[in-house]
Structure 1
Amino acid sequence: MPLYNVNDDNELFALVKKDNELAYTELYNRYWQKLYFVAHKHLKSDSEAREIVQEVFFTIWAKRRSLAIESFPAYIASMARYAVYVSLARKKRQAEKISEEAIQQQTLPAALADLLENKWLLEKISALSTALPEKCRLVFIKNKLLDQSLSQVAADLDISQKTAEAHLTKALKIMRDKLGDVAFFLML
């Protein structure tokens, strides 16, 4: 059985490319602790650091025949750093996603309550507007619900702007009496 501890890293990797598992084991024994230290320093997690080291060495073995490595120590250190950066970026994205979900969960009930309140108010206003005189109802719907200007409403209904204002005033008074002051302010 040959002694691989006397070979340099690049010679060992040349043997690994020829499927030599003992040379691979020697490289693993030489570098696992160094890679673990680098990964643990950044990730502050034993399990994640071990996973990074395993991933790096798995990739080396899986791609051994296609890799063209000039300096094994530099290459493996770069692989470990890159794996750490990927892990940190993934953690950051997960934290942002969790934060975003928490914000959405807090705002969703409030938005839902507003939507339900607005729907209720719109239904109430629509029901009450049917009780208005015809011209008052048309002016009210076009101005308040369809958001048309009074001059545009007057032109559409072929009435003067003063008449449109009078119809709107009458409609709002009736609505205020029926809905109450609080709901009236919501309509304005």
Structure 2
Amino acid sequence: MSKLFDPVLWSAIQSDDDQAFRELFEKYWYKLFKTAVKYLDDEHTSLEIVHDIFITLWDRRHQLVITSFPAYLFTAVRYNCYKYLKSNAAKPHLVDTLGSDIDYLLPVVENIAVNRYGKDELFYKLEQYLTPLPARCREIFILSRKEDLSNDEIAERLRISKRTVENQISQATRFLKSQATIKDFLYISLLLSSGILLAV
């Protein structure tokens, strides 16, 4: 990762540089995810909210004027948590807390997108992206993510070393992130990185 400053990354993103966008995503997604979990106590919904925020960021990159990414992104998280809690009539004390800022939050993130994949669609996309990889690499990755086996269990089943399993999973993960389209990349990356892929 190049560790570029946010304004430099944003300038590149506005020039349609998807690698700069991926770098910005990697820089912020986990902090945003943890913030959402703090409010919602729901990892799956928190992932969806973070995914939607970054989709909107990419889709509106030519229109948005952002002077502070931390301020924009964390405001977007809080606003979307507020909308979710309010629509689900959950945790009224949190709705009240977040709602006190709604007049400030609304104009900033009023167009957050909804772009969610079902589990079957995500599996289909994963399998399509994995096709160019060697058969053993695909097999190990699917055992890890789809069947939720541990590295030790995979090594025992396939009679290979645990290090080989780890290397093959890393290879598949890197390949997925490098080949996926922006929208697929965001959702796949969130799920892979959070460790709850296929648990939803």
Q: TM-score, normalised by structure 1?
A: 0.46
Higher RCO, 1 vs 2 (CA within 8 Å, ≥6 residues apart): 2
* Larger-gyration structure (1/2): 1
Give 1 or 2: higher helix fraction.
Answer: 1
Q: TM-score, normalised by structure 2?
A: 0.44
